[in-house]
């Protein structure tokens, strides 16, 4: 069985071993030192003047200044140094096995520390048409365990955290997970169906 995560050729396909097992994906990463609390707008300008940034946007570069296929807001939430840099890594889809041997869909992502306005929500769907909000991560307002998802692990990596969140339903049938980043109000987890 193969899982294609986010259609991203950089990660390609992750093999899932029939009957269980563990898949380890090693990613080279650039570790950054957390400087001070940063806001999305200050990060986005990356030292550019308002005029230079407006000129780039007028030239057709909108919401993806580093042209990596992900929104600037996701790059910011995942820990890119500037809007022209690449984040620490992309989210990775996997299956996790509970002690009772049931497998659950999971997603692992990096959350930059020191970015006070960054909020990350793990969303879940049965068919891509509508999404429910599971675990939510916002400075001082994390909701790692909800009726839909649960945090499996959180590791402090210095300037960012690596977080794995799993679906509470066993991995049977069609199920999707994604990450949504925002600087607006903190998302509210959806009730379990």
CATH topology of domain 91-182: Immunoglobulin-like (2.60.40)
Backbone angles phi, psi at 45, to 5 degrees: -70, -30
User: pLDDT of 43-77, one tens digit each?
Assistant: 777 767 777 777 766 665 557 777 778 888 888 88
Decide: 64 and 113 in contact? Cβ < 8 Å. Answer: no
User: What are the sequence ranges of the domains in the chain?
Assistant: 91-182
Q: Over the stretch 87-132, which tens digit does the pLDDT of each residue have?
A: 667 788 888 887 778 899 999 999 988 888 889 999 999 999 999 9
- Neighbouring C-alpha atoms within 13 Å toward the C-beta of 155: 6
Average pLDDT over residues 24-42: 48
Q: What angle do CA 133, 8, 183 make, to 5 degrees?
A: 40
pLDDT at 71: 80
Interval 13-37 mean pLDDT:
40
Q: Which residue's structure tokens are 């659950």?
A: 104
Please state the length of the chain: 193
| Residue entry with tokens 């550019």 | 48
Residue-wise pLDDT for 132-188, tens only, equals 999 999 988 899 999 999 999 999 998 889 999 999 999 988 999 999 998 888 889
Specify whether the CB–CB gap between 139 and 124 falls below 8 A: no
Q: Tokens 């609390």 — which residue?
A: 37
Strands 132-138 and 119-125 come out as: antiparallel
Please state the pTM of the whole predicted model: 0.68
pLDDT at 10: 36
- Interstrand relation of 92-97 and 103-112 (parallel, antiparallel or unpaired): antiparallel
CA-CA distances (angstroms) from residue 142 to 62, 92, 111, 148, 170?
Answer: 30, 21, 12, 15, 24
């Amino acid at each position: 069985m193969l899982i294609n995560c986010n259609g991203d050729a950089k990660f390609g396909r992750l093999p899932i071993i029939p009957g269980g097992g563990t898949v380890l994906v090693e990613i080279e990463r650039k570790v950054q030192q957390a400087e001070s609390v940063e806001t999305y707008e200050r990060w986005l300008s990356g030292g550019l003047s308002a005029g230079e940034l407006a000129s780039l946007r007028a030239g057709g570069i909108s919401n993806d200044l580093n042209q990596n296929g992900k929104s600037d807001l996701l790059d910011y939430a995942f820990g890119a140094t500037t809007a022209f840099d690449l984040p620490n890594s992309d989210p990775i889809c996997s299956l996790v096995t509970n002690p009772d041997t049931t497998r659950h869909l999971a997603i692992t992502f990096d959350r930059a520390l020191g970015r006070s306005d960054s909020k990350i929500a793990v969303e879940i769907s049965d068919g891509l048409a509508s999404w429910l909000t599971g675990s939510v991560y916002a400075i001082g307002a994390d909701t790692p365990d909800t009726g839909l998802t649960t945090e499996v692990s959180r590791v402090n990596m210095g300037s960012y955290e690596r977080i794995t969140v799993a679906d509470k339903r066993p991995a049977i049938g069609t199920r999707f997970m994604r990450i949504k980043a925002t600087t607006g109000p903190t998302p509210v987890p959806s009730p379990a169906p």
